[in-house]
Amino acid sequence: MSIITYDIIQHVIIFGKERGFKMKSYRKELWFKADRRRKLINITHQVEKCLQESGIKEGLLLCNAMHITASVFINDDESGLHMDYENWLEELAPEKPYERYNHNTYEDNADAHLKRTIMGREVVVAITNGRLDFGPWEQIFYGEFDGMRNKRVLVKIIGE
Amino acid sequence: MSIITYDIIQHVIIFGKERGFKMKSYRKELWFKADRRRKLINITHQVEKCLQESGIKEGLLLCNAMHITASVFINDDESGLHMDYENWLEELAPEKPYERYNHNTYEDNADAHLKRTIMGREVVVAITNGRLDFGPWEQIFYGEFDGMRNKRVLVKIIGE
Amino acid sequence: MSIITYDIIQHVIIFGKERGFKMKSYRKELWFKADRRRKLINITHQVEKCLQESGIKEGLLLCNAMHITASVFINDDESGLHMDYENWLEELAPEKPYERYNHNTYEDNADAHLKRTIMGREVVVAITNGRLDFGPWEQIFYGEFDGMRNKRVLVKIIGE
């Protein structure tokens, strides 16, 4: 039985000293209801709160839209740029005329599917020393392209 | 001797209660041969089968095209929308005239590289309670833009 | 002392046979200073060196631009295609006239934010048997769209 005791101590040493660690996972949904059809919402602070709640110090964080007419992306929190995104996405995938799209038989949101495709569904962020491992201007946004109803973002973190 | 018992109980508590766990990894290639140049193929069921096979309950799943003229993306399984994707991608990055592109010296698939860039190479999906942690309409697609030959998708899962 | 040895061997057996393993994490920044505004730089070899340095054999690798006017993406290392990317991105999000964009009040790089949005911020790559688990032509690129200054890419690896 003393063999067992020693074994466990060894085990702890191995996990601590050799940079191996036990994994944890964390999951949370963030809910949003945009007050107009299209809106960019800075969710960096909410994602940081998830990370704190998780207690995870090293790992990867996935943040994705759970709806296919919305996006999670990383860019600058600058209002001029956000106007540029609006204009540019309307150029690349205009909302109207609705008849432009085959998808718009019972729906009117084909453009939102295409806009979200440009902007991306998800981001994966490195977690280092318990923080989002970001460059100087990186901010996480929820990009809503078919709003005015409750929609969700998933935050999933795995690591130590 | 009571120390020994205590050690073992501690150990179980750490792995069970505090959500630490041992990691597993899983890898599989899915092969496709699209019967035309461009095609969107719903692969959600095949990816779910990989997940079941892996036995992983908590973690992250990466699914990526292994070819640079193909995409893996998440959106709606609706035929009108798929026609819209075809028309829209042809607007943004037309297949012809082939001479339009510098890449098309020995090849004719420059447009496929660009279309795949719009649609994305990969998706990362959260695994929760042994399932793809999806919103209501999320489906995984293989987007082929230079088909009629055997091409591969990689599924890699890490977690507990 | 022979007891101790036996315990350690046990430990190895458990981690090897049951496919559970200890996690490691690795982080490195790669720095670039492009000699012109826009440039595509093949960084596959540098990312492979990070992987070797990490000693990680199974897991996931995240490689992302730490700046919001740059991209990390996977595609072909073919000079004709790279010219096509340049022309195509200039079509979709032209640099000039600078007044075209609301972001360009104190800045002139709105187009770089949009170009990077098309190309993507990050890639996630499977690590299998200590190697980047790539298809035949996959290469990792740093896409610079507002160069001539020092900018960073993050490599984060988690796994065994």
Nearest to B66 among C21, C138, C159 (CB): C138
Contact: A76, C23; criterion CB under 8 Å: no
Is A23 an 8 Å CB contact of chain C? yes
Nearest to A117 among B79, B83, B118 (CB): B118
Residue B150 clears pLDDT 80, i.e. is over it: yes
Measure in Å the smallest separation between the Cα of A77 and chain B Cα atoms. 23
DSSP for C7-64, written as a single string: HHHHHHHHHHHT--B-BEEEEEEEEEE-SSSSEEEE-HHHHHHHHHHHT--SEEEEEE
**Among C113, C88, C87, residue whose Cα is nearest residue C100:** C113
| Rounded average pLDDT over B61-68 | 98
Is A90 an 8 Å CB contact of chain C? no
Give chain A positions within 8 Å (CB) of B126: 27, 62, 64, 154, 156
Contact: A118, C121; criterion CB under 8 Å: no
Contact: C80, B105; criterion CB under 8 Å: yes
Do residues B70 and B31 make contact, with C-beta atoms less than 8 angstroms apart?
A: no
Predicted pLDDT of residue A47? 98
Is C84 an 8 Å CB contact of chain B? yes
> How many contacts does A have with B, using Cβ atoms within 8 A?
119
- Torsion angle, CA of A90/B85/A63/A76, rounded to 10 degrees? -30
DSSP for chain A, written as a single string: -HHHHHHHHHHHHHHHHTS-B-BEEEEEEEEEE-SSSSEEEE-HHHHHHHHHHHT--SEEEEEEESSTTEEEEEE---HHHHHHHHHHHHHHS----GGG-TTTTT-S-HHHHHHHHHH-SEEEEEEETTEE---TT-EEEEEESS-SSEEEEEEEEEE-
Angle between helices B110-119 and B79-92 (to 10 degrees): 120
Predicted pLDDT of residue C23? 82
Q: Does the global pTM surpass 0.90?
A: no
Is A86 an 8 Å CB contact of chain C? no
A57 vs A132: CA distance, rounded Å: 10
Is B124 an 8 Å CB contact of chain C? yes
C147 vs C70: CA distance, rounded Å: 9
| Rounded average pLDDT over C32-41 | 98
The percent of residues in chain B predicted with pLDDT above 70, rounded, is 86
Q: Give Cβ neighbours of residue A46 (< 8 Å, ≥ 6 apart).
A: A30
- DSSP state at residue C99: G
Tokens 């700046």 belong to C67
DSSP for B38-60, written as a single string: SEEEE-HHHHHHHHHHHT--SEE
Q: pLDDT band at residue C11, thresholds of 50, 70 and 90? A: very low
Q: Identify from C2, C29, C69, C103 which residue to disrupt to test chain A contact, counting A C-beta atoms within 10 A and taking the largest count.
A: C103
pLDDT tens per residue across span A130-158: 999 999 999 999 999 999 999 999 999 99
